[in-house]
Amino acid sequence: MTQDVSTPLMQQWREIKARHQDKILFYRMGDFYEVFYDDALLASKLLNITLTSRGDGVPMAGVPVRAATEYLRQLIACGQRVAICEQVEDPKLAKGLVRREVIETITPGALLDDGYLEGKRNNFLVALALPAGAAGGRGEGTGPRGLAAIDLSTGEFLLEALADRSIEDALLALGAAEVVLPVDVELRLPDGVLETRRERWEFDAELAREEIARRFRVASLDGFGIGSTEAPALGAAGALLRYLGELQPAGLPHLARPVVRRSEGRLHVDEMTRRNLELVEPLRAGTRNATLLEAIDCTVTPMGARLLRQWLLAPLADPAEINRRLDAVEVAARDTLGRGRIREALEGVRDLERLGGRAAAGRATPRELGALRDSFQRLPDVLEGLRSLAGRERSTALGALLEELDPLGDLAAELARGLVDRPPVALADGGVIRPGYDGELDELRQLRDGGKQYLAALQERERERTGIPSLKVGFNKVFGYYLEVTHTHKSRVPPEYERRQTLASGERYVTPELKAYEEKILGAEERIAAREGELFAALRARVGAAIERIQRTARALARLDVWTALADGAVRHRYVRPVVDHGFELALKGSRHPVIERLMPRESFIPNDVEFSPAARVLLVTGPNMAGKSTILRQIGLCVVLAQMGAFVPAEAARIGVVDRLFTRVGASDNLAQGQSTFMVEMSETGAILHNATARSLVLLDEIGRGTSTYDGVAIAWAVTEHLHDRVGCKTMFATHYHELTQLPERLQHARNLTVAVRDTGDTVVFLHRLQPGAADRSYGIHVAQLAGLPARVIARAEEVLATLEGDHRVVPGRPPTRDPGQLALFAERGEPPAPDPMVEELRALDVNALTPLEALNRLAELQRRAAASRERG
C-alpha cells in the first residue's frame, strides 16, 4: 500500500485536496470523476455507489462524467459542497502527469445548472452581517445588521437592512439554501440551511463598496439607492461576492445591480403566520393543493412562477403601489382576448432569466441556445398582445412593461439563421449549425458527404470490376475504411488489394484510392467539428453579451405573466378587485376560502360576510367544532395577503384598509423536536403577537389556550383578547369553542360576538357554515362525536356527564376572570354545591323603595359586618 500512495497522481490529488478540505473533491480521470479516502467513504454512502480501492488500498469511488449531474444533484441535496477538478490539458499532449485544476465548486447556494434547480423557485445564497457574539434565539442581537442575497442562476442581487425583522423570518422568506456568516457570530440556522463561515474582515462595508463599484463599473454607489442603514448589508454583499469568486474562479455569471429591499411599505408576515396560512408550504408535508400559491399559480413561465412566489411572500402595505398592480390585473381581467393572446405567446417562452445567465457564463448547450431562440421568437407576439392590452398609457404598470420589454429581434434572427431547428444537447454530437450559415462549414460538409457518396460509388465499381457481388466498403476505428470480401470469393481479389485483417467470415483490404479518400473524409469530420465549435461559441457569446437586455426582458415578462395569470384565475374562479386604501375597515362580502372552495364541488362553499370597523374591531367567533370557524379566520388572512400582493380576492366585494402586520395563530402545532411543549410554543407565539402588533395590524387567533386546562385556557384567552382590545386596538378575530368567552363583548366596547350557524334538529346537528351575529349557546362537541360515529351508549353517557358539569360551572357575568382574583373565583370548584350566598339572597329580597334612608343605612352596616365576619371565617 505504501508505495503507490505516493505516486505522482496521488501527490497531485493531495496538493489539490489540501486547498479544498471542506469539500468533496471530484477528481477527473478520463471518463470518470474519482473520489478518494474520506471523500470516497462519504460519497459512496450518500450516493449508494460502490466503494472500491486502488491497488494500494486507498479507498475510492467514481461516477461517470456523463451522469455526473445527477450525482452532484444528490450530493448538493444532502448539503455537501463539491469541488470539480478537471484535466486542464489534453492528455494526449501532456508530458508526464496531466495538469488538473479545480474549475468550480458547487454548493447548495451556488448553483447554475438547470439540472439542479427547481424552476419555480429562486435559489438564494445569503450572507448575514451581524455583530459578534450571540445573535439570540431568534437572531435578535444588538448593533446594526444586514443581509445580502444572490441567486446565481437568475442574477438577482438583493440587499436588506434587517431592521426589526427576525433573521429566521428573512431566511425562510427567501428560502435561503446556504448562509455565509462571520466566524464570531453564534447563531442557529433553520434546519436544512448550509452554514459557511468567513473571517470578520470580509464583511467590511468599505471594501464592499469599492468591490461593487468596480464590478458594476460605476464611480460610486450613489445611484443604487444604498443608504447608510444598508452599510452592514453592503458588507455582507462583499463577503458574498468574495465567496462566490472562490467558488467560480473563472468569473461569476452576470449579476443584476443590487436592489435594496426595505421593510417599510411591506406587509410583515412572520414565519408562524406563513406556515399557519399555508401560503407556500402545506402544514402537512407532501399534501397537494393545500397552499395559497398552488391555488393562484396560473403562471406559464418559470420567471412568472418565481415572481409570484416572491410577491406572495412579501405583500405590500402601500395602497398606491398595490393599486398600481391591481390596475394591471384589472385591465388583463377585462380583456379576455388580449389576455389569451399574451398567455398563448408566453407559453412558448422558456426560462429566459436562467438560460440567458448560462449563455453569459459560456455554459449554455446547443439545445439551450435553441430554447432561447424559440423563446425570443415568441416575443413579438407577446409585445403585440401587450400593446393592445396596455393601450397608449405609459404611466401604468402595464405601460411601463412596454419600455422594458425588448423583443430581442436581432438575437432571434441570428440564432434562427445559425442554429438547426432542433439542436442536440451536446456540441460533440454535431449538426448544430444550420446549412447556409457559414461557407466554410458548408464546404467541409460537402466534402464529407461527397466522400461518402464516392465510397458508395466505389463499392459499386469494385463489385463490377472484381465480380464479387458481396464486396462491401466498411469502416472501423482501428483500420479506418476497408473493402471486405468473404472467404468464398477470396480467389477473385485483385493483386493491388492490400490485406489488413482476417476474420472468421472473410478478409479486409485497403487500396491507395480508398486511403486517400479516407483522409479527406476524416479530416473533414474533424474540421467540421472544430468549425461548428467556433461558430456555436460565437453565437453563444453574442447572446451572452446581451445578457442585460435578456434579463431585463425576462423580468418584464415575469410581471406580465403574473398579472395575466392572476387575471385569468380571477375570471375563472370569480374573484373581485378589492378596494385597497389607508382606512381601518376590513369588509368582505360573500367571501370564500380560496383553497378549500377549490376542493369542493363548484358553488358548494358557503360564502360569508365579515366586517371589521373601529366600532367593531374585535370579533369573537364561537360555534361547534367543524362549523367553519378556522376556515373563516384563515379566509380573512388569505384575502388580506392576496389584496396586498396586488391580486383579486375570492369574494363578491372587498374593502381592505392596508394592514402593516398579519399574525395568525391557528390550531396546535407541535415543536417537540426543539424540546418545547405544544403549549409553550403556543404561548411564546402568542407573546410575540402581543409584543409586535400595532393598531394597524390584523390578528387572527384560533383556539388560543387550548393546550392547557380549560380554566387556564379561558383565562389566558380572556386576558389576551382584553389586551388586544384595550391596549393594541388592532383588528382581531378570535375563534374559539370556549363559549364562556362570549361574555367578553358585554364589557369590551369594540368587541362583537359572531357565531357560525348550525341547525339543531333535536337529535342531530346540521352545519350551515354561515357566519351570523350572536353567540353560540353551547359547543355541540357531543353532537360532533355522534356524527363521528361514537357508540350510542357513550354519547348518552356523555350527555349525562355534560349536564352535571354545566350545572357546576358558571362564569360570573360581566366579571373578567383575571381581574380581582382574590374576590370571586371564576368557576366554583368541581363537586362543590352551587349553594347561593345567603347575603345575596337577602339583598335580592330587599324592597329598597319600602325602606327609609336610616333603615337602609342600618341594613348596609349590618351586611358589612357580616361580610367582614365571613371573610375571617373563610
Distances (CA, A) of 574 to 594, 649, 857: 10, 9, 70
Could you say whether residue 596 binds ligand ADP (CB under 6 A)? Answer: yes
| Phi, psi of 769, rounded to the nearest 5 degrees | 55, 25
Distance CA 724, CA 60 (A): 64
The least CB distance from residue 754 to ligand ADP, in Å, is 12
Distance CA 113, CA 734 (A): 48
Could you say whether residue 605 binds ligand ADP (CB under 6 A)? Answer: yes
Q: Which residues make beta-bridge pairs with 734?
A: 620, 701
Selected range binding ligand ADP among 626-634, 672-680, 705-713, 757-765, rule: CB under 6 A = 626-634
Q: Which of residues 184-243 bind ligand ADP (CB under 6 A)?
A: none
Among 606, 666, 683, 826, binds ligand ADP (CB under 6 A): 606
What is residue 677's three-state secondary structure?
coil
Distance CA 88, CA 103 (A): 9
DSSP state string for 612-656: E-SSS-EEEEE--TTSSHHHHHHHHHHHHHHHHHT--BSSSEEEE
Selected range binding Mg ion among 167-175, 523-531, 624-632, 865-873, rule: CB under 5 A = 624-632
Distance CA 755, CA 601 (A): 25
The least CB distance from residue 630 to Mg ion, in Å, is 3
Among 117, 626, 717, 748, binds ligand ADP (CB under 6 A): 626
Is the Cβ–Cβ distance between 298 and 568 less than 8 Å?
yes
| Phi, psi of 296, rounded to the nearest 5 degrees | -110, -5
Is the Cβ–Cβ distance between 560 and 342 less than 8 Å?
yes
Could you say whether residue 631 binds Mg ion (CB under 5 A)? Answer: no
Could you say whether residue 769 binds ligand ADP (CB under 6 A)? Answer: yes
Is the Cβ–Cβ distance between 609 and 772 less than 8 Å?
no
Query: Closer to ligand ADP at the Cβ: 282 or 424?
Result: 282
The least CB distance from residue 576 to ligand ADP, in Å, is 17
The least CB distance from residue 588 to ligand ADP, in Å, is 12
What is the CA angle 362-64-251, rounded to 5? 25
Which positions ≥6 away from 411 have C-beta within 8 Å?
372, 373, 376, 542, 543, 546, 550
Query: Closer to ligand ADP at the Cβ: 310 or 630?
Result: 630
Picked from ligand ADP, Mg ion, none, the partner binding residue 626 (CB below 5 to 8 A depending on kind) is ligand ADP
Q: Is residue 84 within a helix (H) or strand (E), and if so which, with residue range?
A: strand 82-87
The least CB distance from residue 716 to ligand ADP, in Å, is 19
Could you say whether residue 863 binds ligand ADP (CB under 6 A)? Answer: no
Query: Closer to ligand ADP at the Cβ: 405 or 606?
Result: 606
Q: Report the half-sphere exposure of 519 (CA within 13 A, side-chain side).
A: 6
Picked from Mg ion, ligand ADP, none, the partner binding residue 769 (CB below 5 to 8 A depending on kind) is ligand ADP
Selected range binding ligand ADP among 184-192, 202-210, 623-631, 720-728, rule: CB under 6 A = 623-631
Name the residue with the smallest CB distance to ligand ADP. Answer: 628
Picked from ligand ADP, Mg ion, none, the partner binding residue 605 (CB below 5 to 8 A depending on kind) is ligand ADP
Selected range binding ligand ADP among 127-135, 294-302, 619-627, 655-663, rule: CB under 6 A = 619-627
The least CB distance from residue 329 to ligand ADP, in Å, is 25
Distance CA 342, CA 643 (A): 24
Is the Cβ–Cβ distance between 730 and 662 less than 8 Å?
no
The least CB distance from residue 629 to Mg ion, in Å, is 5
> How many chain residues are in contact with Mg ion, going by CB under 5 A?
2
Distance CA 494, CA 811 (A): 118
Could you say whether residue 738 binds ligand ADP (CB under 6 A)? Answer: no
Q: Which residues make beta-bridge pairs with 509?
A: 483, 499
Query: Closer to ligand ADP at the Cβ: 361 or 782?
Result: 782
- Eight-state DSSP code of residue 359: H
State the distance between the two ends of the chain, measured CA to CA, in whole angstroms. Answer: 90
Picked from ligand ADP, Mg ion, none, the partner binding residue 69 (CB below 5 to 8 A depending on kind) is none
Is the Cβ–Cβ distance between 59 and 53 less than 8 Å?
yes
CA-based nearest residue to 104, from 76, 127, 64, 126: 76
> How many chain residues are in contact with ligand ADP, going by CB under 6 A?
13
The least CB distance from residue 690 to Mg ion, in Å, is 21
Q: Compose the 630-669 pattern: x for residues touching ligand ADP by CB under 6 A, - for all others.
A: xx--------------------------------------
Query: Closer to ligand ADP at the Cβ: 207 or 787?
Result: 787
Could you say whether residue 630 binds Mg ion (CB under 5 A)? Answer: yes
Q: Which residues bind ligand ADP (CB under 6 A)?
A: 596, 605-606, 608, 623, 625-631, 769
Q: Which residues bind Mg ion (CB under 5 A)?
A: 629-630
